[in-house]
Amino acid sequence: MTVRISQTADVQKFFEEASGFDNDQGSSRMKAVVHRVLSDSIKIIEDLQISPEEFWKAVNYFNELGSRQEAGLLVAGLGLEHYLDLLMDAEDEQAGHVGGTPRTIEGPLYVAGAPLSKHEARLDDGQDPGTVLFMQGQVRDIDGKPLAGAIVDVWHANTGGTYSYFDASQSDFNLRRRIETDAEGRYRFRSIVPSGYGCPPDGPTQQLLNQLGRHGQRPAHVHFFISAPGHRHLTTQINLAGDQYLHDDFAYATRDELIAEIHFIEDPQQAAARGVSERFAEINFDFTLQPTAELNAQQRAQRVRAQEV
């Protein structure tokens, strides 16, 4: 028979003290959150009869997660980051903020401060022999008006599925740029076709996914922050049509409106016209931003990021 003590007055008082309820220092918000975490944790221990061995395994897991910097990956893999999108979508719907390109998860691999250029950029440093990709599109408001001077902040993985900064073998800001749209709201860039991302196979995220019988793969994708004065900041990404993981993304980022067709062009004349010597790829994708007068909503959500200023 299960022994339960979490509801006794002594244990409740004990965790109220552990949460700092008996002092007037610190943060009342943090106290409330920690108290809830502790109260729910001891209920879980009792409900699921978590053994001390399992408890200490979990403690060690947190240590491993932190030492490998994978907490951001785990929250994506467990669907919590996608859940936040669903919650914000529901809040938006209730507030009447509808229309525009859907949001989807940022993931943990953005690096702030990528080089800024006007209208166009080349994202790759020429070291990765991937298929050349030309991507272009227009940023508009929900009435279809082009947004000149919008910032398209783009980042993606290389052909090995890894990101510069986190993969020290790549040059600084490789496959990361900020592009200001032209008078017609257009942006364009040259890069290479990215590969899908996979969780580090020996890392704690994949270790847990294995226990859930799940893979840790993402389809090939390109991340974007799109911003413009007077408009809501958009965090989104496109996932490439045809990828085997398009509808089986371990991070649940694929949304129907965010699937981008990728066209591979074999014609040598078209390649020559583009200044490349072989088969290349092309993606066209437009973004639509919702209006807002709120300055906060025009900025990206605050969180700790690499090189954030």
For the packed helices 9-18 and 28-47, what is the interaxial angle rounded to 10 degrees?
140
* Shortest reach from residue 104's CB to Fe ion, in Å: 11
Q: Give min distance, CB of 163 to Fe ion, in A.
A: 7
Q: How far apart are CA 225 and CA 140, in angstroms?
A: 14
User: Contacts with Fe ion in 102-161 (CB under 5 A)?
Assistant: 107
The DSSP element (H or E) to which 179 belongs, if any, is strand 176-180
The CB-nearest residue to Fe ion is 107
Q: Name the residue nearer to Fe ion (CB basis): 185 or 196.
A: 196
CB 175 within 8 A of CB 164: yes
For residue 156, the minimal CB distance to Fe ion (Å) is 7
Which one, 42 or 74, has the nearer CB to Fe ion? 74
**237 by DSSP, 3-state: which?**
strand
Nearer to Fe ion, 107 or 137 (CB): 107
**How many residues make contact with Fe ion (CB under 5 A)?**
1
Of 54-113, binders to Fe ion (CB under 5 A) are 107
> Taking the CA of residue 239 as centre, how many other CA atoms within 13 Å lie in the half-sphere pointing to its CB?
28
Please report how close the Cβ of residue 120 comes to Fe ion at its closest, in angstroms.
22
Indicate the length of the chain as a whole number: 309
Nearer to Fe ion, 224 or 280 (CB): 224
Of the pair 201, 230, the CB lying nearest Fe ion is at: 201
Least Cβ distance, residue 157 to Fe ion (angstroms): 6
CA distances from residue 7 to 3, 38, 41 in whole angstroms, order as listed = 11, 12, 13
CA distance 14 to 98: 47
By CB under 5 A, name the binding residues for Fe ion: 107
